[in-house]
Every structure is written in C-alpha cells, then in structure tokens.
Amino acid sequence: MLIRPAQAKDANNLAALALQVWLHTYAKEGIRDAISVYVLTEFTPEKFRQLIAAPDKLLLVAESDRHLIAYAVLAFDTPQAAAPQAATELATLYVQAHFAGRGVGSRLLQDCAEAARQRCGNGALWLTTNNQNARAIAFYRKQGYSKCGTAYFVLDGERHENDVMARPTN
C-alpha cells in the first residue's frame, strides 16, 4: 500500500470512492432524493480538484496496485472549542469497505498526524463522526481518540448528531 498526496488526476476516482463509502455508511435505509442530491452535489471530480488545490487542506490517498482504496482530508487552522489542543481537523477518513480492518485507516491516520505535526508543530487532530457509526467510533477509540463534544450534520432539514473526538498531542 502506498500513501501519497492526491493529485488532480485522482479526482474522478476520489469522487467515485467517496460516493461508494458515503452511501454504504449512511444510506442504510435506501436512497431518497435528499441523499441523492447531497452525494451528487458534494462528491464531484471538480470539488475534489478544488480540494486538492486548496492551500489550507491536505488530501492523502491510499492506493493498492494503482487502485485508490482510501483517502483522508486534513483542514489546517480549524480550531474546535471542544478540543482546544488540536487546530487541525481530520475532515474525512474514508476507507473502501473491502479494505476495512487491514490497517489502511490506521496508516492514513498516522500520516495525517505527522502531516499536522510538520505543518503546525502539533500532531493533535480533532474530527466528527456520526454517533450511530459504531465501527468508526470503535476505530477512533482504538487509536486513542475520545469524545469531547457534540456537533450536528444537517441533511434536508434533519439534524444528525455527531461526536466530536480528539486525541491528546503525541
């Protein structure tokens, strides 16, 4: 497995991977219009090209045999009141289901903390995860993260509770 910074040429594959992981994780009751509109608007190749080019973001990809299998997005200089020790948000960590449990997420998370340490002098990260996503919560807890607050994701007027999680500076 190779972890590297994303390039503009990855945009199509990132959009497809994001759609797949998001739908598998959150569309547990099926597809409805609000879900379709959200994923088709948010996970586009153009949005990924913009994200890759953004100076305050870092997008890392994990690939296996030239296939993208996971990605992570860091947002620098994004303080979170519930996690004052961390100024870098782990905005996204998506691993294709076929590769879950193989250490891909752990490696990406380690590389993200190292990137934050190099850029900010502090490898502490904060993140949000849906409080119904038991698998993600267990993964982050295993990596030393704990809940320190609550945030909400709003989709079609519905509020979905997220846990704010952070790990002490390492």
117-153 tens-digit pLDDT? 999 888 889 999 999 899 999 999 999 999 999 999 8
pLDDT of 170 above 60: no
pLDDT digits (tens, 9 = 90+) for 4-17: 999 999 999 999 99
Q: What is the pLDDT of residue 154?
A: 87
Please name the amino acid found at residue 29: E
* Region at 34 (left for phi over 0; alpha for psi -120 to 50; beta for the rest): alpha
d(CA 47, CA 21): 17
Contact 103, 66 (CB under 8 A): no
Given the structure tokens 């945009």, which residue do they identify?
Answer: 11
Q: Show the domains of the chain with their CATH numbers.
A: 2-166 (3.40.630.30)
Contact 29, 133 (CB under 8 A): no
Structure tokens at 65: 């045999």
d(CA 100, CA 113): 20
For residue 43, what pLDDT band results from cuts at 50, 70 and 90?
Answer: very high
The pTM is what?
Answer: 0.93
pLDDT digits (tens, 9 = 90+) for 51-95: 999 999 999 999 999 999 999 999 999 988 888 888 899 999 999
For residue 168, what pLDDT band results from cuts at 50, 70 and 90?
Answer: low
Where is 46: in which H helix or E strand? helix 45-53
